[in-house]
Amino acid sequence: MCTFSSNLLFSSSSHLVNEAVLLVLEYMDGGSLTHVKRMAVGYMCLQGLAFLHANQVVHRDIKSDNILLGWDGAIKLADFGLCGWLGPKQGRRRSMVGTTWWMAPEVVRRHPYGPKVDTWSLGIVGIEMAKGEPPYFCETEDTAMYLIATQGAPDLYKLGLPSGLCDFLDWCLQMDVDRRGSAKELLQ
């Protein structure tokens, strides 16, 4: 009978404590597959956004529906119908476009904005991947827009997410655009 495989998690012992069985398992420092997937999705999306932004293009509708997965593990951004070009005469945009729950506060407020609206939206996708839906998704669009404009994202550290993910998302989801990371900065 086979007693060990390098592809199975090793359990060194088990203990009965207050009618609960506790297992002592081998430590896997790479994290779960879900964590690896989130990191891969974030990294590949940031690469795509950095390319768009370097070419003066703002996607303006980053959300999970517009992130497509290939059989080979490739992750690609899609749906460029709402893209905005930032030319020499128009370095910022003002139009309120995108999908409500993923919009950055400056878009909802109709303030001038640039490429960092995409990093905000990617941060919302990060919350969605971890929690199953974007913040304020159970709210009406009007209420969600009000909450985004006045509060931004919810307190990430109260969502029960890993601290490293919270730190990354916090940089994506800064209300102050000057403190928010660009795609290029977030890649480093």
Mapping DSSP to helix (H, G, I), strand (E, B) and coil, where does residue 62 land?
Answer: coil
The torsion angles phi and psi of 170, rounded to 5 degrees, stand at -60, -40
Q: How far is Cα 77 from Cα 58, in angstroms, rounded to an integer?
A: 12
Nearest to 182 by CA among 76, 51, 37: 51
| Phi and psi, residue 58, nearest 5° | -110, 125
Active-site residue set = 61
CA dihedral 94, 95, 99, 103 (to 10 degrees): 10
Tokens 């398992």 found at: 25
In Å, how far are 53, 81, 103, 131 from 59, measured between CA atoms? Answer: 9, 8, 11, 24
Separation between Cα atoms, residue 118 and residue 53, nearest integer Å = 9
